Structure formats: structure tokens, C-alpha cells
Amino acid sequence: MTVAVRFAPSPTGFLHVGNARTALIVWLFARKSGGTYLLRLDDTDQERSTETYAQAIERDLAWLDLTWDRKARQSDRADRYDAAIARLKEAGRLYPCYETPEELSLKRKSRLAQGLPPVYDRAALQLDAADRARLEAAGRRPHWRFLLQPGAIEWHDLVRGPVHFDADDLSDPVLIREDGRPLYHVSSVIDDIEFGITHVVRGEDHVANTALHIQMFRALGAEPPVFAHLPLLTDAAGQGLAKRLGSLSLQELREDGLEPMAVASVLAKLGTSDPIEPRRRLEDLVEEFDWTKFSRASPKFDVAEIRRLNVRLIHEMPYEEAARRLAERGLPVVTEPFWAAVRPNLARLDEITDWWQVANGPVAPVRDDPAFAGTAAKLLPPEPWTEDTWKEWTEALKAETGLKGKALFLPLRRILTGLDHGPELKTLLPLIGRDRTLRRLGGETA
């Protein structure tokens, strides 16, 4: 069997890390199995779906380098839904219901008060043609429910193992709104059938939906796909992640200057038995992917973990990769010696701009002792400079002034960089150059 999977976000908000984790896991599985990856925008919610969010979803996936083989929009497929829905009506698996939301709420409360499960009582099945005509003449428009067949609904889940539902405990789901528009359940099932989806991977909040969907697949003459339901991420405090509030969105992480592979390295391993370690390539995560590593426990997501991996990735990043990443982000493309000098001091790639400024100016020197600065200028070695120049210079200054350690090095750092911290000056000094060093020692902004 050729694996075909899909990631099916609704463009009603920005992707948060929970959505992104699902998108990534689906992609890793597709690539590990040699299958195809469909990006399907579930945009039938006309009130909340926007093109802005649709474009943001594609931008976020591209940032993570999660390429798709096919793309579809549910808003383009209304005719396909109409045809399948007509088949369900002809087979007697869809029936019209006329209760208002208030009437349904009263029914649920009544059943709960009687100790009964709050499932729909199927009263609409007792209506005859005259009843329906009378209701419609009074202005009622039907919503349509899917008639569940009695019996056990079972499947083997790739994450949860054996799953069992009794159809008698489930309410016939509404598939068609009063305005005639199909709801998520039916459009998703129709798409999965027509796109040949073999595996559906989604959050565990869809487990009960899957029981309903399995009967819909079979009512439409299709065998259900294999299912995998991932535990939902929580934040560090154990709270759920809210998509439309932008909580921990990919857009925020990208704008914060984090590396996409730092994000992917964390999301791919959350909830698995693998340790969370930085990976430089998605291909490494593909090789390590295995459904048996996933746990049913809800993993906690902490953005601080991404930041820690981000630092490690940058500190270990080879120059060729750094040059490419800097160019992609419109940052200064530095020389290899410059990268080697400042890399240990970067927590984010865009911080290289600060050190580019230090090396190339202008920098306002901080001269706490002009006399010391004058002595340092007098003893400054001639060019050419190497990493040994710093030791040669400071040894001469030590002998001349008697200063050593922090008392010697910190004033020099403040004069040369305007800062109290930074890369090793033995590597930074040759990048600043003798002319600019002399001008800063003299108190000039250079």
C-alpha cells in the first residue's frame, strides 16, 4: 500500500505549535514511508476562514520546510460534497431535523436529569411528509443528521492501540447546516475517500469523531483509513494551547528569530521516548521516526527548550550553512573568520548584526581612563594582525601599567566595543583593525 496522508488545517487563525507538531509528524511519516503529503485547507467556515490565515499557514509550513505534494481547498469542492450527500440521502443515512438550538438544549438537559446519555432522541425520524411541510411553512429549515447504525465501532490506533465505542452511546451527528452547507465531518470524510488517504493523523480531541467517521466511510462504500490520534500539547503550566489567540504561534517563533530546525527538533520528539536533541536536517528526523516511540501522555511544550536548542544549533553551525541562512534572512553575510569569532556569543542568528556593528562601526567607545587609553594606543602593535596580536598587546600593557586580569581587559573591551561583554577579543581585534582601534582609543566614535 502506498501511504497517502494529509494535513488539514482550518484557516481561521495562525498555526500554533500544536498544529505544527501534527503537520510535522504527518510529514515525517509520509517521507519515512515514501508516501505523499496533501495540504488540504478546510475552509468551509465562511465566517472565520480568511485568505490571510490561509497564506500564513502556507508561509509557516514553508518556513519549517514541510513541502507538500498536493494541495486542495474544501471551498473548491462543493459539487463533490453535494454528490456524496445525495447518495447518503438516497440510502436513508441522512434525515432532516427541525429542532431549534434551544429545543435541543432542553432535550439534553431532560435526558441528563433522567440519568440518560445526552444523545439525540431521533424524534425527527417520526415526522411524516405533512409534518415536515408544516414545519417548513412555519419558517423552519432542516439540519440533517447522519443515522448511526447500532453496534460496536472499533479500530486499532497507531498511538492509542485498540479503541472501542458503542454506537448507542453516540448522538447522530449533524452533517448539514440549516443553510445547506456541509459540516466538517462529512466534507472531511468525502475528501479522505476521494484523495485516497490511507492514514489520518490528528489530535486526540478527534477520537469520538473518528467513531462517527468510520461509519460514514462505510456508508459511502469506502474502507476507513488507519488512524493515529496524538495527545494534545499543553504549555509549561499544563494549560491547552489556543489557536485563535495566537498562543505560541509559529509566526511568533519565527519573528522571535528562532531557527526552524530548533522548532522541528523539539516538536518531532515531544511525547516520544527519544531525547530532545538538536538536529540539523529534517532528513535526520525522518530516519528516526517510529510510531512505536509515541506515548499517550500529554507532553508539555516549553518555548525555553526551543531557545536552548537554538543556541546549540547556532554554536555548532558551520560557516557554509550560516552564510546561506544569513543571506536568506537579509542579514550581513560575514566572512568565515568573523563567523568563527562571534558564533559562541549568539543566541539568535540576527544578533550577528550587533557584532557586525562592533567590528565595522560606528561604535562610541567608553573611556573610563583616558590616560590608560593613551598608553594602550602607544603600545598598539603594527599590522598585520593575527589572533596572537591581542596577547602581544596586553602583555606589553601589563608590563607598562601593572594592571592585569579584569582590571586590564575590561577597560579595553569597553573602549573597543562600547560593551562589557562579547566575543574573545583575541578574535575580535583583527576584525576591528588597527585604524579603527586607534580612533576608538582616542575617544572617537568609529
* Per-residue confidence (pLDDT) for residue 245, from 0 to 100: 44
Rounded Cα–Cα distance for residues 307 and 312 (Å): 9
Residue 244 has pLDDT above 50, yes or no: no
C-alpha cell at 1: 500500500
Mean pLDDT, all residues of the chain: 95
Q: What is the CATH number of the domain that holds 117?
A: 3.90.800.10
Question: How many C-beta neighbours within 10 Å does residue 55 have?
Answer: 11
Q: Does some domain include residue 238?
A: no
Backbone angles phi, psi at 166, to 5 degrees: -105, 125
- Quote helix, strand, coil % in the chain, to nearest 5: 50, 10, 40
With 70 as the cut, is the pLDDT of residue 108 above it? yes
* pLDDT above 70 for 243: no
How confident is residue 273, by pLDDT bands cut at 50, 70 and 90?
very high
Q: Which three cell numbers stand for residue 295?
A: 506515548
Residue 245 inside a domain? The answer is: no
Mean pLDDT of 164-192: 96
Q: Are residues 283 and 299 in the same domain?
A: yes
Pair 165, 192 in one domain: no
> What total of structural domains would you count in the chain?
5
Give the CATH number for residue 273: 1.10.1160.10
Bridge partner residues of 272 (DSSP): 294
Report pLDDT digits (tens) over 133-156: 999 999 999 999 999 999 999 999
Instruction: Report pTM.
Output: 0.92
Residue 364 maps to a domain: no
Distances (CA, A) of 114 to 109, 239, 427: 9, 33, 79
The reply to whether 192 and 72 lie within a common domain is: yes
In a domain, 10, yes or no: yes
Task: Name the β-bridge partners of 153.
Answer: 165
Do residues 253 and 345 lie in contact, with contact meaning Cβ atoms separated by under 8 Å? no
Give the pLDDT of residue 44. 83
For 150, residues 6+ apart whose C-beta sits below 8 A from its C-beta are: 167, 168
Do 203 and 56 lie in a common domain? yes
Closest CA to 258 of 58, 64, 26: 64
pLDDT band (50, 70, 90) for residue 248? confident
Cβ–Cβ < 8 Å for 1, 34: no
Q: Give 396's contacts (C-beta < 8 A, 6+ positions apart).
A: 379, 381
Q: What is the dihedral of CA 289, 294, 298, 300, to 10 degrees?
A: -40
217, with CB counted inside 10 A (0-12, 13-18, 19+), is: middle
Do 137 and 163 have their domain in common? yes
What CATH code is carried by the domain that includes residue 37?
A: 3.40.50.620
Evaluate whether residue 141 is within a structural domain.
Answer: yes
Tell me, yes or no, whether 63 and 114 share the same domain: no
Residues 107 and 57 occupy one common structural domain: no
For residues 225 and 291, membership in a common domain is answered with no
| Distance (Å, whole) CA 292 – CA 314 | 31
Check whether 237 has a pLDDT greater than 90.
no
Rg (CA), the chain: 31
- 116-122 LR contacts (CB < 8 Å, sep 24+): 117/169, 118/171, 119/169, 119/170, 119/171, 119/172, 120/145, 120/171, 120/172, 122/172
- Burial status of residue 268 (CB atoms within 10 A of its CB: 0-12, 13-18, 19 or more): buried
Same-domain pairing of 169 and 189: no
Crossing angle of helices 406-417/388-401, nearest 10°?
120
What sections of 42-141 are H helices per DSSP? 51-63, 78-90, 101-113, 129-137
In the prediction, which pLDDT does 247 show? 60
Q: What cell does 91 get?
A: 440510502
| Helix axes 388-401 and 370-378, enclosed angle (nearest 10) | 120
Sign of the alpha-carbon dihedral angle for 176, 182, 185, 189: positive
Please check whether residues 131 and 104 belong to one and the same domain: yes
Among 187-201, 234-248, 289-303, 369-383, where is mean pLDDT lowest?
234-248
Q: Could you tell me which of 337, 336, 340, 342 has the C-alpha nearest to residue 355?
A: 342
Q: Let me know if residue 387 belongs to a domain.
A: yes
Q: Is residue 330 part of a domain?
A: yes
Alpha-carbon distances, residue 230 vs 77, 116, 196, 434 (angstroms): 28, 30, 22, 59
Domain that holds residue 120: 88-176
**Which tens digits make up the pLDDT trace of 373-429?**
999 999 999 999 999 999 999 999 999 999 999 999 999 999 999 999 999 999 999
What DSSP string describes 403-438? --THHHHHHHHHHHHSSS--S-HHHHHHHH-HHHHH
pLDDT at 235: 80
pLDDT of 246 higher than 50 = no
Domain boundary among 155, 176, 197: 176
Q: Are 271 and 277 in contact (CB under 8 A)?
A: no
pLDDT at 242 over 60: no
Cβ–Cβ under 8 Å, residues 55 and 63: no
In angstroms, rounded to a whole number, what is the distance separating the alpha carbons of residues 421 and 414?
8
Q: What percent of the chain has pLDDT over 90?
A: 94
280-306, pLDDT tens digit by residue? 999 999 999 999 999 999 999 999 999
Q: Same domain, yes or no, for 92 and 170? A: yes
Which residue type is seen at 166?
Answer: D
End-to-end C-alpha distance for the chain, whole angstroms: 67
What single-letter DSSP state applies at residue 173?
Answer: P
- Yes or no: say if 263 and 305 are a contact pair by the CB < 8 Å rule: no
Comparing C-alpha atoms, which of 329, 347, 326 is closest to residue 338?
326
Is residue 346 pLDDT above 50, yes or no? yes
Average pLDDT over residues 117-144: 96
* Region of poorest pLDDT, from 21-35, 237-251, 348-362: 237-251
Shared domain check, 428 and 291? no
For residue 22, being part of any structural domain is answered with yes
